[in-house]
Amino acid sequence: MNRTDKPDTARGSTKAVNPASQFRRLRLASCIALLLAASSPDFAESPNPQNVLDARQESQIATTYALSPYLRDNDLQVSVLDGKATVRGTVEESTSKDLATQIAMGVKGIKEVDNQIQVQPGYLPPKQEGARGFGRTIDDASITAAVKSKLQWSKYTEGLSTNVETTDGKVTLRGTATSADARKAAGRMAETTQGVYAVDNGIQVKAEQADSASATGKSAVKAAGQGISDSWITTKVKSTLLYSSNVSNSDIAVSTRNGIVTLSGVLGSRSERNLAIELASNVRGVIEVQAKGLKY
C-alpha cells in the first residue's frame, strides 16, 4: 500500500464510530444537564403545602364574595398568607364590611382577618361591561332551575312544553300549553319564584288541544293524585314554598294525608296566606288544601 492510501489521522481522516462510546458520552451529557437544571431556583422550588392551602382558602373566600348579592359588585381583593386573610376594597355600608369579615372567618383554617375595606357612604361600584358576573350567572341559573322544578311538579304539567331562560332576574317562558289556565299557571309560578323581577310569558295555547283538555280537566286532576305518595307531595309543597317569594316558608308546617295537604303556621298578611294556599294547590297530586291553621 502506498503512503497516500493510508488513513491520515493527523489530517482528520474518518474513523469508525464506536456505538457504546457514543452512548456513554450522551448519557454523561444528559446527567450534566439534569444537574444544572436541578441547581436552578425554579427547579429546586417544590410546591409548599401551606402555599397550596393559602391559595385554596383565598379562592374560597373570593368565590363566596362573588356569590353574595351584598358584596359581588364591589370588586373586593383577597389575599391569604399562613392562615391570615387580608381584604381590600370599598363598600357603601359598614354592614357589608362586617359581612366580608364573617365570610372570611367562616373558611376553615382562617385564623385572622385583616379587613382593610374602606366604607364610603353613597359609594356606587363601577358597572361591569360585557359579560355578566359570576354571581349573577349563578343566580339566574338557580332561578331557572327553581322555575323548571315548580313547573315539573305542577298539576298543569300534562300537555305543557316549556323552555325557561333567565337573564338578570327576568324569566322568559316559551313553549306550548293545552289550555289558557295552564299558560296562566306557568306564568304565575315563574313570577312568584324568589329572585324573579319580571316574566315574559310567551307560552302559546294550542287551539286544537284546548277542547279535549277542558273536557278532561277535572278527571285529569283527580287522576294525578293516584300513585303519588303523601311524602312526595309534602316534599314538593315545601320545596315550592321554599323557592317562592312573598311567603315565609320557614313558618309554615306542611303535612299530607291521602292527597289532602294541611298547612299551619303564622304569616305576615292575608295575601301571603292566599299565595301559600295557591302554591300548594298547584302541586301535582294535591286533592285539597286545608289551611284553617294558617294564620296571619
pLDDT tens-digit readout, 20-59: 555 556 555 555 555 555 455 554 455 678 889 999 999 9
pLDDT value at position 245?
83
Asked if residue 236 has pLDDT above 60, the reply is yes
Give the pLDDT confidence score for residue 161 in this predicted structure. Answer: 83
Average pLDDT over residues 86-90: 94
pLDDT (average), residues 125-133: 66
Average of pLDDT values for 144-168? Answer: 87
Taking only the tens place, the pLDDT of each residue in 244-259 is 887 876 678 999 999 9
In this prediction, residue 91 has a pLDDT band, given cuts at 50, 70 and 90, of very high
Q: What is the pLDDT averaged over residues 268-296?
A: 91
Alpha helices of 13-133 — where are they, by DSSP H?
A: 19-38, 41-44, 49-67, 94-105
Residue 14 reports pLDDT greater than 80: no
Question: Above 50 in pLDDT, residue 6?
Answer: no
Query: Residue 190: is its pLDDT beyond 90?
Result: yes
Counting Cα atoms < 13 Å in the Cβ hemisphere of 279 gives 32
Q: Please report the pLDDT score of residue 221 as a whole number.
A: 43
Q: Which long-range contacts (CB under 8 A, 24 or more apart) does 88-93 make?
A: 88/116, 88/117, 89/117, 89/118, 90/117, 90/118, 90/119, 90/120, 90/123, 91/117, 91/118, 91/119, 91/120, 91/123, 92/119, 92/120, 92/121, 92/122, 92/123, 92/124, 93/119, 93/121
Confidence band of 77 (pLDDT split at 50, 70, 90):
very high
When mean pLDDT is compared across 57-66, 107-116, 163-172, 199-208, the lowest value belongs to 199-208
Residue 13 in this model has a pLDDT that exceeds 60: no
Residues 189-218 have a mean pLDDT of: 74
pLDDT score at 213: 42
For residue 83, the model assigns a pLDDT of: 92
For the residues 180-192, what does the mean pLDDT come to? Answer: 91
Mean pLDDT score of the chain: 80
CATH number for the domain whose boundaries are 49-119: 3.30.1340.30
Architecture of domain 225-296: 2-Layer Sandwich (3.30)
pTM for the full model?
Answer: 0.60
pLDDT at residue 219 tops 50? no
Residue 61 has what pLDDT?
A: 93
Confidence bin at 80 (pLDDT 50/70/90): very high
